[in-house]
Structure 1
């Protein structure tokens, strides 16, 4: 794992969950803040009730590009655990009225301000900032986040993670980019690491494709175990080794929390994304010279 931004160093920051008084003052998107989140969809609750699934049902990372194929996989909701301590999670989110291009826009736009990030998951998101995001505001939406690193703090279950998510080209994860016309499909691909130490511990993909009434998002995470590695050839002394050891052995609690977190935030996003995207584009057109 490589191509990373430097670890974050901001010891004076005091993050908090939720919106504080005045935090949204003057923000045009303030009306999209809604701290009430819908219950988990029935298909996700049923998958969690089954517990860990057989490893052969899980998508191998080397075959991640097959998410771009027609149809569905054996495991679209749920999780699997592996002997090396790693886990794989899968979550399907139905997104009426949402286009793949909206998701490409969101993954660029949301990380510019912490308040935007909090819109996405009011019960879990704490902090967000970009490092190295492309500056060309006229580029296609996908090009605006690829190559950047999003520093985010968020709760997954009861654990607060301080993460660095490096967005990479879909082709790096096995997708044919010729098959990712933003009008029909996109694949948001990232390397997940820690933000304060140079350590990576997994991969994420959100594959989004058009369906009859909007889009469906098929999210996949591969975390822990063999995916834990020092960044850019760093060795593992002291603090880094301790962090790595804590991530090498993941279990059902972490996997379940990841499925719940992903389903909650993506369903919440789907509820307001068409509206906020439409308003953003109207404002952008109005501000054009």
Structure 2
């Protein structure tokens, strides 16, 4: 899948690549990760990114790989769009890296009428999308958009929980900067795809174990907790 084909994520029909990675013709990487988040729903995942976890909670999220978490940009409590997550983390066996995720409106990347239809049909229950870079001071466009890669978390509610598709497009902006496919491949080696795949699967599996309880506790004024006894 190339990035211009991401509308395929709006259809729950199995894709040729649900979990794995591939080297694209321009030298960039596509990494796909399917995670079954038992007991979760899409509203919980979108809330988690609006909650903007501090370093302590970021370590709860992935107690092996996550190191630090800070936020900047639009910090309005009712949306994650416009905020930037500035983190330090490992990607499985890859040493610590400075990363930034700039959360963007899903309709920037997905065809708007198809995205809205998928939400209405319950084919999609959550969408967290953004621009990513492997630096805390990445290059940007004149209007502030981070240059690097793209991140897509598209989820669907099921009777057992949230079926989450996470797709990463790493090095997406490098060809436009004049790099050849071979040069792009040097910038984004295959080992990065392997580490990112394992990392993403682990972090959302870890998150699924704590998210339902946190969501109820932090929203108890609107969602009445159910006593276990």
Q: Which residue does the alignment assign to 2:144?
A: none
CA contact (8 A) 2:156 2:162 kept: yes
Q: How far, CA to CA, are the matches of 2:187 and 2:28 in structure 1? A: 6
Q: Does the alignment pair 1:256 with 2:210?
A: no
Q: Of 16, 26, 32, which residue of structure 2 is paired with 1:90?
A: 32
Q: Does the alignment pair 1:272 with 2:210?
A: yes
Q: CA deviation at 1:88?
A: 0.7
Q: CA deviation at 1:110?
A: 3.6
Q: Which residue does the alignment assign to 1:171?
A: 107
Q: How far, CA to CA, are the matches of 2:30 and 2:38 in structure 1? A: 26
CA contact (8 A) 1:207 1:219 kept: yes
Q: CA deviation at 1:70?
A: 3.0
CA contact (8 A) 1:180 1:187 kept: no
Q: How far, CA to CA, are the matches of 2:204 and 2:168 in structure 1? A: 14
SS at match of 2:151: strand
CA contact (8 A) 2:39 2:161 kept: yes
Count of aligned positions: 209
Q: Does the alignment pair 1:227 with 2:169?
A: no
Q: CA deviation at 1:250?
A: 2.2
Q: 1:201 to 1:283 in 2, by over 3 A?
A: same
Moved segments of 4+, more than 4 Å: 245-248, 283-286
1:57-109 CA-to-partner distances (Å, cap 9, x unmatched) read xx211011221113121000111113433111111000111010000001121
Q: 1:250 to 1:285 in 2, by over 3 A?
A: closer
1:192-247 CA-to-partner distances (Å, cap 9, x unmatched) read 022134263210101011112111000100102x42389xxxx99xxxx9xxx788
Aligned-residue CA RMSD (Å): 2.8
How does the TM-score come out when normalised to structure 2? 0.81
Q: Does the alignment pair 1:118 with 2:59?
A: yes
CA contact (8 A) 2:74 2:81 kept: yes
Q: Which residue does the alignment assign to 2:129?
A: 189
- Structure with the higher strand share, 1 or 2: 2
1:15-55 CA-to-partner distances (Å, cap 9, x unmatched) read xxxxxxxxxxxxxxxxxxxxxxxxxxxxxxxxxxxxxxxxx
Q: Does the alignment pair 1:203 with 2:150?
A: yes
Q: How far, CA to CA, are the matches of 1:153 and 1:229 in structure 2? A: 26
CA contact (8 A) 2:38 2:161 kept: yes
Q: Which residue does the alignment assign to 1:213?
A: 160
Q: 1:89 to 1:252 in 2, by over 3 A?
A: same
Q: How far, CA to CA, are the matches of 2:43 and 2:30 in structure 1? A: 26
Q: CA deviation at 1:169?
A: 0.6
Q: CA deviation at 1:260?
A: 0.4
CA contact (8 A) 1:129 1:152 kept: yes
Q: 1:65 to 1:124 in 2, by over 3 A?
A: same
